[in-house]
Structure 1
Amino acid sequence: MDRRKELVEQYKELKTEAGIYKIENTRNGKLFVASTNNFKSMNRMRMMLGLGSHPNRALQLEWTQYGGDAFTFEVLEVLKKKDSAYFDTKKELKKLEDQWLDRLQPFKERGYNTPAPARE
């Protein structure tokens, strides 16, 4: 097997970790909490912010204002996957994200997230 195919096979075997992370503005303490299927995608978020194309406009505005050095990225919790045919990663990730949003309350003056609409 040539070297390229070998590297592709190694990449496919790499385990990806899903979970919850936060981006914190160290100047004002505001937080952005999000989930990801792969923590390696946090680099993509940093790149989007650097290019001015992050979908969260409030976070993007302050990133542009303060610069990337004013922000930290931190993994809050890794999703513990279960070996079960019934384990729904997307559903469990959403539950975990909701727990962290409830715990940290990164809304309005405390953060960049938008609260979920109240259910009746």
Structure 2
Amino acid sequence: MNHKEIIQKYKATPTFYGVIQIKNKQSGKTFIDVVPNIHNRWGYYQTNLNGNFYHNTDLQQDWNRLGADAFSYSVLWKKDTAGIDNLRQTLKELKQTWLAKCQPEYH
């Protein structure tokens, strides 16, 4: 497959936005977030947490103390972005709904 075909294939791949959860397997504490593209999102969080520059200080402190193996990652809900006019607003509303529903310990 040449470079042009790879780019076309990437552009044709559907993008899914969704709700993710990072769970501390030892304490049961959870972190909930909404993301515009769930593809490779776990890698994004791991990079930030391993680099010690994640904005959620409680989650960061537990990550530093317990290590990556103490946490799990899951996608709680996802939907194709096709047909979404205002993804930013959709994500904002989705986050409020899921935070109220799950009441995570990490904020």
Please report the TM-score for the alignment, with normalisation by the length of structure 2: 0.87
* Structure 2 segments unaligned to the other structure (5+ residues): none
- Provide the rounded CA distance (Å) in 2 between the counterparts of 1:7 and 1:80: 21
* Structure 1 residue identity aligned to 2:94: L
Alignment of 1:44-59 (within 5 A): 44-59=44-59
* Structure 1 segments unaligned to the other structure (5+ residues): 114-120
Where does residue 98 of structure 1 map in the other structure?
A: 96
- Provide the rounded CA distance (Å) in 1 between the counterparts of 2:82 and 2:48: 32
User: RMSD in angstroms over aligned alpha carbons?
Assistant: 1.8
Please tell me whether Structure 1 or Structure 2 has the larger radius of gyration of its CA atoms.
Answer: 1
- Provide the rounded CA distance (Å) in 2 between the counterparts of 1:112 and 1:105: 9
C-alpha deviations, 1:6-63, integer Å up to 9, x for none? 1112112211100111100011111111010111223211121122121111111100
Alignment of 1:24-63 (within 5 A): 24-40=23-39, 41-63=41-63
Q: Which has more strand, going by share of residues?
A: 2
Count matched residues. 106
- Provide the rounded CA distance (Å) in 2 between the counterparts of 1:73 and 1:6: 32
**Higher relative contact order, chain-length normalized (CA < 8 Å, sep 6+):** 2
- Provide the rounded CA distance (Å) in 2 between the counterparts of 1:26 and 1:76: 16
Where does residue 19 of structure 2 map in the other structure?
A: 20
Please report the TM-score for the alignment, with normalisation by the length of structure 1: 0.79
- Structure 1 residue ranges, 4+ long, deviating more than 2 angstroms after superposition: 79-84
Q: Is the 8 A contact 1:54 1:60 kept in 2?
A: yes
Alignment partner of 1:112 is 2:106: yes
Secondary structure of the corresponding residue to residue 79 of structure 1: strand
